[in-house]
Amino acid sequence: MAEATGAAGPISGRQLLGVVAGLGLTQIIGYGTLYYSFSILAAGMAADIGWSQDAVYGAFSAALLAGALIGPRCGRWVDRHGAGRVMALGSVAAAAALVACAVAPGPLGLALGLVAIQLAASFVLYEVAFPALVQVVGFGAQRSITHLTLIAGFASTLFWPATAALQDHLTWREVYLVFAALHLVLCLPIHLWLRSLVRAAGPAAPSAGVVPESTGSQRQDRRVLLILTTTGFSLAGFVSSAMLVHMVPLLGAIGLGAGSLLVGSLFGPAQVLSRFLTMTAGRRASPVGLAIVASGLPPLALGLLLLGAPALAAALGFAVLFGFGSGLNSIVRGTVPLTLFGRAGYAERLGWISSVVHIASALAPFLFAAMLERLGGTPALWLTAGIGGLAALVFVEIRRRTGTAAGRVDAGGATGDAVQTAGSNGASRFRRAALTACLHRR
């Protein structure tokens, strides 16, 4: 596959700030309009078209799965044509999908509109924004990804109340029309500007020290690393999704009562705090090492909860540790593939990884509910902690294969392709599942 994009040289600090801030705004709008707003508008949709809320959430869950399946193909387009061009087309597609959903005459039209929205989302969110940073920023992309996730983490904080305020004065259809305008008026110009930066950067020159896939053994090593990376993130995604769906009911069941709401409210701030700490204190951290921490914190949190419940302090510690792990996971899912495989084909690999992770996350709430029913609460939680521990072990194996130096970020953020040398050598279930998928995609 010919790579048509990539940074030929460093961009100015002002341009870098503009790229991160611009993408941060489009990610907030993208996640806010295409995901978080749905939970506020779902009741109005159901009443308008004559469906139950469960049926509407079921259609949304199916739409999320459809969006996950297109990830690898979208990644190939990004590698071939550039992230800026794909995101610009995605902005137009997102606006068109929102309009189509807003004018849907009945249940079938609404369901198809929701699918169209999630297909468009695959072209404008993290899975394309991360490659955009890689193509424009180059070796500094890992730190820029951290900055971007910190900004985008406020999408739910802003769009849940904003959507509720709009719904006080507009119908859900009119709200979607307003959101469509945001994609055309704000997101599209930013993505077109990003397209010009990528195009101006020119083709990516091969990085010094990169070992080409010239032998069968090298291709096999990279294939194994990709499988391990996908497995690790999928297992971690399963744990995160399962717990986010059932967190408040489980905390109430173990005797926390009203305190379960307080514990649940700490999850979001802990996510943002972990990203901020990574941005300020994690400059020299290995992305693979951070992935070990990110996947290891949730099982530790579950162990603390199981051993310390119903003490409120144990539950608070659980929420903070779990939130820290989830916040780190959003970062390392973008930086680890860049560390292990470099820029060439980065978007397609990220698309494959994200596709499998989103499918695992969508299935997790149903599978965990079955575990609760068959095994009971405590055994199901210990089993889930074991799955999280297995995810951490997968990343330990990745670090063993690539060497401890792989992926270390120096003060200037120089990482990525050069480490390839080391790598080549060594409510209802439907409703809660849909809401959790929204949170997990962030």
Q: Which pLDDT tens digits describe the chain residue by residue (442 residues)?
A: 334 445 445 577 888 899 999 999 999 999 999 988 998 899 999 999 999 988 998 899 899 899 999 999 999 999 999 999 999 999 999 999 999 999 999 999 999 999 999 999 999 999 999 999 999 887 668 889 989 998 988 888 789 889 999 999 999 999 999 999 999 999 999 999 999 887 544 444 444 333 345 456 677 888 999 999 999 999 999 998 888 777 767 777 777 766 676 777 777 788 888 888 887 766 677 899 999 999 999 999 999 998 987 788 888 899 899 989 988 998 999 999 988 998 888 999 999 999 999 999 888 888 888 888 898 888 999 999 999 999 999 999 999 998 754 444 333 333 334 333 333 333 455 555 555 555 555 5
What pLDDT score does 197 carry?
84
Give the list of residues 6+ apart from residue 260 with CB closer than 8 angstroms, or none: 247, 248, 251, 252, 315
Task: Name the residue among 123, 272, 255, 242 with its Cα closest to residue 183.
Answer: 123
What pLDDT score does 399 carry?
93
What pLDDT score does 424 carry?
38
Give the list of residues 6+ apart from residue 74 with CB closer than 8 angstroms, or none: 86, 122, 123, 127, 128, 347, 351
Q: Which two tokens stand for residue 134?
A: 């890689």
b (16+ CB within 10 A) / e for 388-426: bbbbbebbbebbebbeeebbbbeeebebbbbbbbbbbee
* Residue 417 per-residue DSSP state: G
In order, the DSSP letters of 125-173 are: SHHHHHHHHHHHHGGGHHHHHHHHHHHHTTHHHHHHHHHHHHHTTS-HH
Q: Which two tokens stand for residue 368?
A: 């965990």
What pLDDT score does 378 carry?
86
Radius of gyration of the chain (CA): 21
What pLDDT score does 216 carry?
63
Give the list of residues 6+ apart from residue 287 with CB closer than 8 angstroms, or none: 142, 332, 335, 336, 338, 339, 407, 409, 415
User: Is residue 408 within 8 Å of 286, Cβ to Cβ?
Assistant: yes
What pLDDT score does 300 carry?
96
The whole-angstrom separation of Cα 337 and Cα 288 is: 9
